[in-house]
């Protein structure tokens, strides 16, 4: 299995349980590891034989602009669903963090893994 990674993608979205979080978008930082069985892309040199990371980034930006999530865990599951179903990833590892939400803490977040890791 090959792994495509996207590190420290920053996206503005509505995330949180407090009234101010429901009214004002926050920046989340997302890092992705996306397992693909498309090893043939190294031989074919064709974008259609792999997962296009630019398309993934565009898709996530579009979706997160339109949704509100109470929990980072729910947001992570949503992202996993897109990658596994739409992009046909075999396995994903997703790290999502809120930035600067608490005094003295740079980031808080979750990490999930879904799918079959070979």
CB 36 within 8 A of CB 15: no
- Estimate the share of the chain in helix, then strand, then coil, as percent rounded to the nearest 5: 35, 40, 25
Q: What are the φ and ψ backbone dihedral angles of 89, each rounded to 5 degrees?
A: -65, 145
Q: Is 98 a catalytic residue?
A: yes
Q: Which of 22, 85, 88, 98 is catalytic?
A: 98
Q: Which residues are known catalytic residues?
A: 98
């Amino acid at each position: 299995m090959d792994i495509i990674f996207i590190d420290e993608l920053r996206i503005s979205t509505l995330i949180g349980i407090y009234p101010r979080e429901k009214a004002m978008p926050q920046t989340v930082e997302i890092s992705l590891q996306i397992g693909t069985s498309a090893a043939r892309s190294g031989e074919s040199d064709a974008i259609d034989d792999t997962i296009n990371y630019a398309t993934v980034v565009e898709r996530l930006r579009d979706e997160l602009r339109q949704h509100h999530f109470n929990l980072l865990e729910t947001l992570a599951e949503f992202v996993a669903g897109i990658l596994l179903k739409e992009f046909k990833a075999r396995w994903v590892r997703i790290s999502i963090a809120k930035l600067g939400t608490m005094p003295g803490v740079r980031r808080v977040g979750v990490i999930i893994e879904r799918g079959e890791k070979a």
